[in-house]
Structure 1
Amino acid sequence: MASAEVLVVVHTTVYGQRLRDVHALLEADLRVRIRFTVAPHTFNRGATAHVRRLGGAVLPWKEAVRRSFDLVLAAGSQGLERLHGPTVRLPHGVGHIKLSPTGVGARRTVAGLGPEYVIWNGRLVPAAYALAHRDDRTELGRGCPEALPIAEVVGDADHDRIAAALPSRERYRASLGLRPGERLVLVCSTWGSGSLFTRLDTVLPRLAAELPRRGHHAALLVHPNVSAAHGPRAVRARATAAARGAVSVLGPEKDWRPLLVAADFVIGDHGSVTLYGTMTGAPVLLAAHPHRDINPRSPGAQLAHTAPALSTSQPLTAQLAHAAAQYRRKDYAAIAARISSEPGRFDRRMRRLLYRVLGLDEPAHPPAPPVLPLPAPLWPTPDDDRVGAPSAAAATRAVSGASRDL
């Protein structure tokens, strides 16, 4: 029986998270041996811990660049030209929202889709570039037409797992510790100078002061690159102080997808998590959106024209109620449809691509259905009979008029 050795390249925690549902497609095949390595990157703090949590065999980078592999999996580009073996590259975010920091004006390419991400000394580094949407392929043609022959649209793993989890939303809410009628406000930030993280000192105190404590919870998700730059302890300390303990702060190792499935409102920016929020039925408020750094053709730009902007002068609860009243499912569904043009088909299409590159026959059974694991409790579930426990009706009234339009 033929066998193959696969190297999973983890540049950062985020890149590792993007690859988790990809290498899982190979793990049950006894013909395939999977190894991990942590590649050089400015934000690779935490990447080694991510690999250790996976429990896989780890190769030091210095050894990885000396060996040959039958397949290399990566969601970043740095250092890939030094590896030996056909590489399948994936995007490390959704929607290709951001413009590249290199270039000026109209010459700025879309991050991940310019020649600097796939070409090294005149040669294409990846053997295949797995994209989520046919629009991404069109964008690649604008920025790096030389890469079109290796581009393949396979869909998006996170999209499929969130979509599969939404019908069981109440199970995810209960697993987190949310009671019927309680509201979850999810605050999510990407990284960089235009992110919501740079405004935490104005957003989080408002949640602490204005969001009713009874019947409401708030949680904060910060891009792991922020923790890599400042340290997770410092990020947690800053957020906890700003929110005066009223907001649960999720560490960079936590799976953000169950929180998004459970959320009743999303306060976000131009990051991937906010964009995935368009799938869920939760009204979105944008607390930050650096228009000059956003691809104007992206679904992120479309979201900025659809979702209301968080105001510093109006009461927070009134803005949440207004966002719920103005929410139109079809408008957000049109944005969500731009995340993946192969909804529900990522595992099947991605596995077919991987085995083609490996040169192995694909297993004679379909991939398992995409399942999003239930999360660990984030809030302790109180005794329903305790004195003073808020009723579902009281929790619903706490944000006047705030209703979900599913």
Structure 2
Amino acid sequence: MLDVLPIFSGDDRITRLFTLVPGSDFEADALSAIDALGGHTVPWSEACDGTYDLVVAASPKGDLSQLRGPHVLLPHGAGFNKSIPHEGSADSASGLDPAYLRRIGHDDTPIALHALAHPHQVARLAATDPPAARHAKVIGDLTLERVLTSAPLRDRYRASLGTGARKLLALVSTWGPESLIQQHPGLPAQLAAQLAHDEYQLALVVHPNERSLLGTYELTERLAPALDAGMILPDSHEEWASVLIAADALITDHGSAALYYCAAQDRPIVSVHRGGGELIPDSPMAVLLGRIPQLGRAEDVAETLRAYRPGAGHAAAQAAFAPPGDAVDRLRTEIYALLGLTPPAHDVAARPLPLPAPAMRVPAAFDVHVETTAAGFRITRHPAGKALPGHHLAVEHGAADEQLARSAGLLYRRPLPASAAPVDLAWTADGWTRHALSAYPGCRSAAALLPSGECLLRVRGHERMYAVQTEPRPERGQVVRIDPAVALSAVHARLLSPQPAPESRTMLNCLIGERTFRIVLRPATDTEATHVI
């Protein structure tokens, strides 16, 4: 609804009122979403007393016939893929069910327009309810228009999420007993433990019905292990679509959100749907799920994603959406004709999606696995406690739990914000690293990260401090940088190895996934050691 209503923007002849048809198990959160936007809501009993120039509904369910005025029905979701057991007609697509469509269409509540997204949907409606099909027209999908309009903003969305050069793996869950969140509740945490933090970022898109059923607090508590590892849980209104645009790969159940992802790009997508009674055969989602790999264990996710063959997602999207581009104009023309009004002279376009919010919980302690190879030091980091212990525990001082700090092999401190104190007190790099090694007797190395990206590191038992600088990696016209804390783990491993400590400037390679980064390691100067941090 909120994707569609901007077709009236700038028209002071139109007043938009919102009401909620009783009977939904999820009505509280629906009203909260409208209230958050400042929409004017009307109680159902009051709404039923009025007569309206137009009644716009996103579902035919409920007693819509009590709202007097010509009705416009809009699809929500993509493709009419599901049949909800024990609801309406058996095996009928939710949203096209004659049992609900026949409840409206009386003289005082005629269906003036049933806006659909694909010619096949009109044909499906005609096969089950010929009278209803007389008012059906192919308009397109306005949510898809927003997704496609926003696709060029992919880099901005990724920057907002803090994705960087990592691969963003999104999971999408519909609602109900066959959904990902109910069938595979442990999958987000399993993936968070399996995937290296510096190579992958996770996001979970949850259907608003499922969020409403559990409540945000309950949902976040259930997902705490994955959220603590940095997983993103986007808002259900608009952010979910921004995250799909930003994603590099998708794991889906039988919910239709995956079709928007497929329409926007042809990137890997795999399924965790195990069958059931909801998916309608030959629907667009059934077409998609029949052509993409199925994920078994979380440990096999990278291999399963590689098994995706380009083109499968595009074919499913073509079955769900008519060629996009003019859905906004089509719907605006149809609705203003129903109102008997001339549209305003200004154009109306699909609105770009907003920037998604970053992860609320950023890991500050890592189990670091180090593999020494002929090419350099391969570093693989997992948030502490999510995977098996590695070569060392690397902890950000002041950001992680103090118990983790006391167990750290490598303790590092990031730059602090500028002080507003009239008389300031600050550590030098030399002073803080000496203090850290004294205060944390189990720590082997302590380091200060500077705003420049350079690091100053002291190793227990070594006379001098070391300066550490990572060189950026050029890549197809772009530059890839790593978190300096990753370079510190490579240097920590090097200086604790049997090799002699470097007496002068030396180079070592840090391997992260398929990338190699060059690190400059040298003894720090006396001036650098007194750098204020």
CA deviation map 1:148-170 (0-9, x unaligned): 11101100012112122223321
Is there any run of 5+ residues in structure 2 with no aligned partner, and where?
Answer: 364-413, 415-450, 454-482, 491-509, 516-533
Report the alpha carbon displacement of residue 125 of structure 1 after superposing the two structures with TM. Answer: 5.0
Q: Are residues 102 and 139 of structure 1, via their aligned partners in 2, closer, same or farther at CA, if it must alter by over 3 Å?
A: farther
| Secondary structure in 2 matching 1:66 | coil
Partner of 2:327: 346
2:514 paired residue number: 397
The match for 1:186 among 149, 164, 170 is 170
Show the counterpart of 2:30. Answer: 47
In the alignment, residue 131 of structure 1 is paired with which amino acid?
Answer: L
Which residue does 1:402 correspond to in 2? none
Correspondence for 2:484 among 377, 382, 387 = 387
Q: Could you tell me how far apart the structure 1 residues matched to 2:124 and 2:314 are?
A: 21
1:90 is displaced (CA, Å) by 0.8
| CA positional deviation for 1:251 | 4.2
Deviation at 1:377, TM superposition (A): 3.4
Residue of structure 2 in register with 1:3 after alignment: none
Aligned: 1:319 with 2:304: yes
Given the superposition, is the C-alpha separation of residues 229 and 125 from structure 1 closer, same or farther in structure 2, using an over 3 Å criterion? farther
3-state DSSP of counterpart to 1:338? helix
Which range moves more in the overlay, 120-129 or 48-57? 120-129
Q: 1:397 offset after TM fit, Å? A: 2.2
Structure 1, 135-144 or 93-102: larger mean CA deviation: 93-102
Letter in 2 for 1:48: L
8 Å contact kept, 1:118–1:125: no
1:131 is displaced (CA, Å) by: 0.5
Q: 2:16 aligns with which of 34, 38, 43?
A: 34
Structure 2 partner of 1:21: 3
How far 1:287 moved relative to its partner?
Answer: 1.1
Does structure 1 retain, via aligned residues, the 8 Å contact 2:55–2:70? yes
Distance 1:262 1:103, change over 3 A: closer
Distance apart, 1:85 and its partner CA:
1.0
How far off is 1:303 after superposition? 0.5
Q: In the alignment, what sits opposite 2:409? A: none
Unaligned runs of 5+ in 1: 1-18, 399-406
* Residues 1:363 and 2:344 are matched in the alignment: yes
Question: Compared with structure 1, are the counterparts of its residues 36 and 122 closer, same or farther at alpha carbon in structure 2 (3 Å cutoff)?
Answer: closer
Structure 2 residue aligned with 1:66: 49
Question: What are the Cα deviations for residues 211-232 of structure 1, in whole angstroms up to 9, with x where unaligned?
Answer: 1111321011111111222222
In the aligned structure 2, how far is the partner of 1:365 from the partner of 1:394?
Answer: 54
**Aligned in 2, Cα 1:384/1:162: closer, same or farther, shift over 3 Å?**
farther
Cα 1:103/1:371, change in 2 over 3 Å:
closer
Alignment deviations for residues 224-253 of structure 1 (CA, whole Å, 9 cap, x no partner)? 111222222111211224666442223445
Matched, 1:136 2:121: yes
The separation in 1 between residues aligned to 2:207 and 2:279, in whole angstroms, is 17
Matched residue, 1:262: 246
Once superposed, what is the RMSD of the aligned Cα atoms? Answer: 2.7
| Structure 2 counterpart of 1:319, one-letter code | T
* Alpha-carbon separation, structure 1, partners of 2:337 and 2:125: 22
**8 Å CA contact 2:88, 2:99 repeated in 1:** no
Residue equivalent to 1:153: 138
Which residue, 279, 282, 304 being the options, matches 1:294? Answer: 279
Write the distance in 1 (CA, Å) between the matches of 2:175 and 2:42.
29
Structure 2 residue aligned with 1:76: 59
> Tell me, what secondary structure is at the counterpart of 1:293?
coil
Task: Identify which of 77, 81, 89 aligns with 1:93.
Answer: 77
Do the aligned partners of residues 318 and 129 (structure 1) sit closer, same or farther apart at CA in structure 2, a change above 3 Å counting?
A: same
The residue identity in structure 2 corresponding to 1:360 is L
Cα distance change on mapping 1:395 and 1:357 into 2, 3 Å: farther
2:232 to 245, 248, 251: 248
User: Which structure is higher in helix share?
Assistant: 1
2:193 is aligned to 209
Q: What is the CA distance between 1:364 and its match in structure 2?
A: 2.6
In the aligned structure 1, how far is the partner of 2:161 from the partner of 2:49?
45
Mapped to 1, the partners of 2:63 and 2:222 lie a distance apart of 33
Instruction: Return the alpha-carbon distance in structure 1 between the equivalents of residues 224 and 170 of structure 2.
Output: 15
Q: Distance in 1 between matches of 2:285 and 2:246?
A: 21
TM-score, normalization: structure 1?
0.84
Fraction of identical pairs, as percent: 33
- Higher share of residues assigned strand: 2
